[in-house]
DNA sequence: TCTGGGGTCCTAGGACCC
DNA sequence: TCTGGGGTCCTAGGACCC
């Protein structure tokens, strides 16, 4: 639940700040153990991965034995609990691990798939959240078995082509996706921030967009990526969420360019309400730095060099030592220069 | 001090091209 | 010249996942 709600319900609760560096290190260690079992490891988040153990069985035994081995190693070497789901498909393995939590081991044998799957509520299906569950409930579909048996035309009309087909495939126990051990290719890079209090002040909003753009630019350059589409996300005090985007002629990884577009989009949007959240994202990523067209905008050219220099300084001395001057000033004491 | 943020995918309409 | 279909790209919004 949202933190605000938790605090209201439980004022005496202690809130701990996340420690992403520690989580990343633990993740790396856990993934390394997976890698000892099989090279066929597909990480799906910081704390989960799919393993295809078909090729590991001759060496390590049947999948259930491999699952025990993984749990034992993670517990003794890292002092972490972990839950393993063993099943013939990715979706079923994911479901088994969800239902095996905490610190469990749940096996769904190939000949027991529908027995396991069909009694579950529709929310168990990947892609069914609050809204879709409500749509299905109104159609009288409560269990996975109901979805499997529903006329496909009914589902298509209610959910659209892709979702309907996807859900009926999963409900039938079909999931042909193989475990993909290659590197994940990001399709967008973005960041967003929720204000502690809703903000109306244009200068605060502008500087926030600059800070977000600066972060996105640095992340793009660190990843060796650039993108053609700049998108902003604006959440108003009443929780209405708006998005605007613009596609450029050339991909960019330059924060100044990202910010210029983001600010233009925001100004054109001119939301009449206080702002709760701002986000900046760059989409349409392509590998490699931009080959710049010098003639188009000489003033913009040069920013990339400056930003690459700040990347180097930040890497040596920390992210806080360098950045746009306008981000150093208090909101009440700014000037309009960047 | 305060207390989500980082992503993916799908849909639908419009523009444009063949 | 007119009509229409199909494909692609862009944009905005929404749902969902971890």
**Which residues fall within 8 angstroms of residue A288, CB to CB, at 6 or more apart?**
A224, A225, A226
So which residues of A are the catalytic ones? 48
Among candidate residues A54, A179, A69, A22, the one with its CA nearest the CA of residue A84: A69
- Tens of pLDDT, residue by residue over A16-29, are 777 888 888 899 99
Question: Measured in angstroms, what separates residue A160's CA from nucleotide B7's C1'?
Answer: 22
pLDDT of residue A335: 39
Q: Are A63 and A86 in contact (CB under 8 A)?
A: yes
The more confident residue out of A295 and A178 is A178
Please list, residue by residue across A107-119, b when 16 or more beta carbons sit within 10 angstroms of its beta carbon and e when fewer do: bbeeeebeebbbe
pLDDT band at A85 (very low <50, low <70, confident <90, very high): very high
Strand C: which bases are under 7 Å from protein Cβ? 9-18
Residue A1 has pLDDT above 70, yes or no: no
- Tens of pLDDT, residue by residue over A203-256, are 999 999 999 999 999 999 999 999 999 999 999 998 899 999 999 988 999 999
Q: Give the Cα separation of A239 and A100 in Å (integer).
A: 35
Establish whether the CB of A11 is closer than 7 Å to any nucleic acid atom in strand B: no
**pTM, full prediction:** 0.81
CA atoms within 13 A on the CB side of A234: 25
The protein residue nearest nucleotide B1, judged by CA to C1', is A196
Q: Which nucleotide is nearest to A127 (CA to C1')?
A: C16
Q: Give the Cα separation of A43 and A292 in Å (integer).
A: 35
Q: What's the whole-number mean pLDDT along residues A117-129?
A: 94
């Amino acid at each position: 639940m949202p933190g605000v709600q938790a605090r209201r319900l439980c004022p005496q609760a202690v809130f701990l700040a996340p420690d992403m560096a520690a989580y990343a290190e633990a993740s790396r260690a856990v993934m390394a153990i997976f890698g000892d079992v099989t090279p066929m490891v597909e990480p799906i988040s910081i704390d989960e991965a799919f393993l295809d153990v078909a090729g590991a069985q001759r060496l390590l035994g049947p999948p259930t034995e491999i699952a025990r081995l993984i749990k034992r190693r993670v517990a003794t070497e890292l002092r972490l609990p972990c839950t393993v789901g063993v099943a013939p498909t990715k979706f079923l393995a994911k479901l088994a691990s969800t239902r095996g939590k905490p610190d469990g081991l749940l096996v769904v044998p190939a000949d027991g798939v529908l027995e396991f799957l069909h009694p579950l509520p529709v929310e168990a299906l990947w892609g069914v959240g609050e809204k879709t569950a409500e749509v299905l409930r109104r159609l009288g579909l409560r269990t996975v078995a109901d979805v499997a048996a529903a006329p496909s035309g009914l589902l298509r009309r209610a959910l659209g082509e892709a979702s309907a087909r996807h859900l009926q495939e999963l409900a039938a126990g079909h999931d042909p996706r193989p475990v993909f051990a290659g590197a994940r290719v990001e399709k967008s890079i973005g960041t967003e921030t929720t204000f502690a209090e809703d903000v109306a002040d244009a200068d605060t909003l502008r500087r926030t967009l600059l800070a977000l753009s600066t972060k996105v630019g640095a992340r793009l350059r660190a990843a060796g990526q650039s993108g053609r589409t700049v998108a902003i996300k604006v959440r108003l005090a009443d929780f209405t969420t708006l998005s605007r985007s613009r596609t450029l002629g050339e991909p960019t990884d330059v924060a100044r360019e990202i910010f210029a577009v983001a600010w233009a989009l925001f100004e054109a949007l001119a939301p009449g309400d206080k702002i709760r959240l701002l986000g900046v994202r760059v989409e349409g990523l392509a590998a490699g730095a931009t080959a710049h067209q010098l003639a188009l905008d000489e003033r913009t050219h040069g920013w990339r060099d400056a930003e690459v220099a700040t990347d180097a300084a930040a890497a040596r001395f920390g992210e806080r030592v360098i950045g746009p001057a306008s981000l150093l000033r208090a909101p009440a004491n700014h000037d309009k220069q960047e």
